Amino acid sequence: MGQLVYSMFVSLDGYVATPDGGLDWSFPDAQVHRFVNDQARELGASLYGRRLYELMAAYWPTVEEGPDVPEVEVDFARVWRATPRIVFSRTLERAEWSSRLVRENAAEEVARLKEQVSGDMEVGGPTLAAELIRHGLVDEYRMFVFPVVLGGGLPFFPALDTPLDLRLMESRAFDSGVVYLRHRI
């Protein structure tokens, strides 16, 4: 049975994007990027909400065509293209780059996927993750905490009716000041 991992870059005050959706505060350096690449290599599938999928699909499929692209980004692009992707959206007409589109019943589909996919699956995007967290489907949380306070925006965790009791499984500080935290249910 596959495990569902929710992993994102997060501000010190718990946000994944600024109030206007900005992400310019969260660019990883090469050390963090290599760590993320190694984690991505281990995934059996990536699950995306519409907004994060559109952001990823706009850059990673063709990044190698750009001039002077760092090798760490080329490496991630190769991993991204090789990993099966399932996109959850009621509004997208299609998902490209060998991605499968699911329009309804995200929680039911993810519960099925957990039974079918060998290896971990990663959920990307806080809106999709919120639904899956509320249905008790997320097994592990991986936060890359950047040393910046946004003061508001899109939170990593949704509002919950009951607390999540988590166990710290791993932590790591990077030279840039980013701290990696891995928690399990």
pLDDT digits (tens, 9 = 90+) for 8-47: 999 999 999 999 999 999 999 999 999 999 999 999 999 9
CB 36 within 8 A of CB 144: yes
Q: Is 55 within a domain?
A: yes
- Give the mean pLDDT of the chain: 95
Residue 51 burial class via C-beta count within 10 angstroms: exposed 0-12, middle 13-18, buried 19 and up: middle
Q: Is 59 within a domain?
A: yes
Residue whose C-alpha is closest to residue 132's, from 157, 150, 153: 157
- Over residues 154-178, the mean pLDDT reads 97
Residue 162 burial class via C-beta count within 10 angstroms: exposed 0-12, middle 13-18, buried 19 and up: exposed
Q: Is 33 within a domain?
A: yes
Q: Is 19 within a domain?
A: no
Q: Is the pLDDT at 1 greater than 80, yes or no?
A: no
Number of C-beta neighbours around residue 138 at 10 A: 20
Q: Is 54 within a domain?
A: yes
Domain count, the chain: 1
- Which pair of tokens denotes residue 52? 């994060």
Query: Which domain does 105 fall in, by range?
Result: 4-8+29-144+172-177
Q: Is 153 within a domain?
A: no
Its pTM stands at 0.94
pLDDT for the residue numbered 64: 86
Q: Is 37 within a domain?
A: yes
CB 139 within 8 A of CB 4: yes
The pLDDT tens digits of the residues spanning 118-147 come to 889 999 889 999 999 999 999 999 999 999
Q: Is 14 within a domain?
A: no
pLDDT for the residue numbered 65: 86
The pLDDT tens digits of the residues spanning 39-95 come to 999 999 999 999 999 999 999 988 888 889 999 999 999 999 999 999 999 999 999
DSSP-assigned letter for residue 50: H
Residue 109's CATH number: 3.40.430.10
DSSP-assigned letter for residue 85: E
Residue type, 156: F
